[in-house]
Structure 1
Amino acid sequence: MTRALATTVDVLVVDDNPIMRDALRGILAADDRIRVVGEAANGREALTLARDLRPAVTLLDHRMPIADGLSVVAALGQLSAVLVLTSSDDPQTIGDMLHRGARGYLVHGEFQPGDLLRAVHEVVNGRGWLSPIAASVAVSLAREQTTPRRQRPDAGLTERELQVVNLLCQGLSNAGIAQELWLTEKTVKNHLNHIFAKLGVRSRTEAIVRWTSERA
């Protein structure tokens, strides 16, 4: 669900590995706009804490005892924006997590600390964030599983918007798109807002799936 902009983003960290939880807490502490309000070691604990604490964002591991991430992501998604952090790059897992409501998906080893901080702020404001490998999987799954819609080939996008959405589908961040097209990040954000409106979507993930499905 979409959250309004807030001064501090409350985050719940869910991972069965205490070392990983410590590492994530350390990364998040570098941003004074983010506050870790709770930690859980499995999906069942995560749901209990999410109901009590109402975090803006939940960082969710996939493989955990008692209740794994996939079994609780839909319920957690009703309580906060879910950002999956896992070592799994399995296409089926990525597709299932996104389909059940995850707002973002980061694969360990495929992102830097700064990427995690940016992802937290992106998902709390209704946008998505995918590691390049997750974006690639999302595109492939859309091509394989979604029936193409009959629309104008360009969906009414301008030439510049076509360039932006194609780079988005390659997994580039706003900063990456800006660098590639020699634009400011603010201009890229404006283009993405126009693209979302024309495609009838609300997030980067939905835009990738819609755009690729219509071109399949």
Structure 2
Amino acid sequence: MGLSSCKDKHAKGWSVKANGDDLEKVCWKENSKSEHQASFCLYKEKLLLELDEETEDKRSHGKFRLLAIEGTDFCLGASASRKLSSKEFSRGSFSSCRLDANQMWELKHNGTLANGYSGLCASMKRNQANAGTGGTRSWLATGRRGEIYLAFFNLNSDKTVISTTISDIAKALPGGNLIHTSCTCTELWTGRNFGVVTSSISMVVQPHGSSLFTLNCT
């Protein structure tokens, strides 16, 4: 996922999906002959009523923020030092949600997801994986309230046990020191509560699947 000119063909294909009583989703699905191809989705955040007048004006024009995962505090933002050409592509980024114009998005009638601050649109490009590609990957981030987010990605064709240690997590955090702390851990996709973890975190991850954890350490 990234940012591109709104004229780029990869910027089209976004639509809204109802999600029951939960947040609406904005999803992208490539034109494909496969009806079973999964969509990539983000969550529309409900804005609070006490927002300032400027933001209320944005809201009345159908603009909203986009969460990476429902219930978390990471919003999609757009920024660029210069205007991109129709063939250029840059990375989007998720950061703590703020009332900033670069985190306000609008779904256009032509299926583009536009950010007025940057003049860019969210776009998707599928990378063709090499036949021999496999292994595991991990991702780490911190939230505004000090919570830690950890993701495991299984690139293999079989179920794989992926593990990490609390000490390795601490090394990856700027100035992080979790040696003398106690962390509670929950896997967000399944809702599984790991309770207090002191040494390591392990999870069986499905083929080409992922797991996302939130850790609160004191």
Task: Looking at secondary structure, tell me which structure has more helix per residue.
Answer: 1
Task: Looking at secondary structure, tell me which structure has more strand per residue.
Answer: 2
TM-score w.r.t. length of structure 2: 0.27
Larger radius of gyration: 2
TM-score w.r.t. length of structure 1: 0.27
